[in-house]
Amino acid sequence: MTERKPPRSARRRGRLRRRVGPNRLLLLTLAAGSAAAALLWTAFTGFVEPDAALAFGVIIGLGELARITLPGQREIAPVASAGAIGYAFLLRTGGAEVHHSAGQVIAVVAIGLALGELPHIVVGRTPRWGDFARRLFIVVLVAVVFRLLVTRFVPMSGDWWLMLSAMAILVVLACAADSAIAAVLRAERLRTRFTVAFNDELRAQGPIGVAIGASGVLIALATSAMGLAGLLIFTAPLLVTQVAFRRFAEVRLTYLQTVRSLSRVTEVGGYVETGHSRRVNRLAQAVGAELGMREAELLELEYAALMHDIGQLSLRDPIPGGATVLAPPREQRRIAELGSAVIRETGVLDAVAELVRRQCEPFGGDGDDGPPPLGSRIIKVANAFDDLVGESKDRDRFEAVVQRLRMDTDHEYDPTVVDALTRVLRHPATRW
**Per-residue model confidence as pLDDT tens digits over 391-423:** 888 888 889 999 999 988 888 899 999 999 999
Q: What is the pLDDT of residue 37?
A: 96
Rounded to whole angstroms, the Cα distance separating 283 from 290 reads: 11
Annotate 177-237 with three-state secondary structure: HHHHHHHHHHHHHHCCCHHHHHHHHHHHHHHHHHHHHHHHHHHHHHHHHHCCHHHHHHHHH
Banded model confidence at residue 5, pLDDT cuts 50, 70, 90:
very low
Residue range(s) defining the domain that contains residue 284: 264-426
The alpha carbon dihedral of 391, 393, 394, 397 has a sign of: positive
Q: What is the pLDDT of residue 7?
A: 53
Does residue 257 lie within any of the structural domains? no
What pTM, to 2 d.p., does this model score?
A: 0.82
Does residue 229 lie within any of the structural domains? yes
Does residue 86 lie within any of the structural domains? yes
Residues 287 and 143 in one domain: no
Residues 6 or more apart whose CB falls under 8 angstroms from that of 390 comprise 273, 276, 321
Please count the other Cβ atoms lying within 10 Å of the Cβ belonging to residue 133: 25
Residues 238 and 358 in one domain: no
Angle between helices 374-389 and 350-357 (to 10 degrees): 50
Q: How many structural domains comprise the chain?
A: 2
Residues 305 and 234 in one domain: no
Residues 246 and 338 in one domain: no
Q: What is the pLDDT of residue 236?
A: 76
Find the CATH number of the domain harbouring 371: 1.10.3210.10
Residues 248 and 280 in one domain: no
The residues that bridge with 70 in the sheet, in sequence order, are 74
Eight-state DSSP code of residue 92: E
- Average pLDDT (234-253) is 77
The residue among 252, 279, 313 that closes a domain is: 252
Residues 81 and 112 in one domain: yes
Residues 287 and 201 in one domain: no
Residues 220 and 286 in one domain: no
Does residue 431 lie within any of the structural domains? no
Q: What is the pLDDT of residue 342?
A: 85
Residues 272 and 247 in one domain: no
Does residue 3 lie within any of the structural domains? no
- pLDDT mean across residues, the chain: 85
Residue 318, CA distances (Å) to 273, 315, 323, 391 in order = 11, 6, 10, 20
Whether the per-residue pLDDT at 240 is higher than 80: the answer is no
Does residue 259 lie within any of the structural domains? no
Residues 226 and 335 in one domain: no
Q: Shortest CA distance to 79 belongs to which of 59, 108, 104?
A: 59
Residues 291 and 347 in one domain: yes
Give the up-direction half-sphere exposure of residue 206: CA atoms within 13 A in the CB hemisphere.
Answer: 12
The residue among 252, 282, 306 that closes a domain is: 252
Q: What is the pLDDT of residue 228?
A: 86
The residue among 252, 287, 320 that closes a domain is: 252
Banded model confidence at residue 157, pLDDT cuts 50, 70, 90:
low
Residues 210 and 235 in one domain: yes
Comparing 432 with 141, the larger pLDDT belongs to: 141
Does residue 432 lie within any of the structural domains? no
Does residue 121 lie within any of the structural domains? yes
pLDDT in tens, 189-218: 888 889 999 999 998 888 888 989 999 999
Banded model confidence at residue 154, pLDDT cuts 50, 70, 90:
low
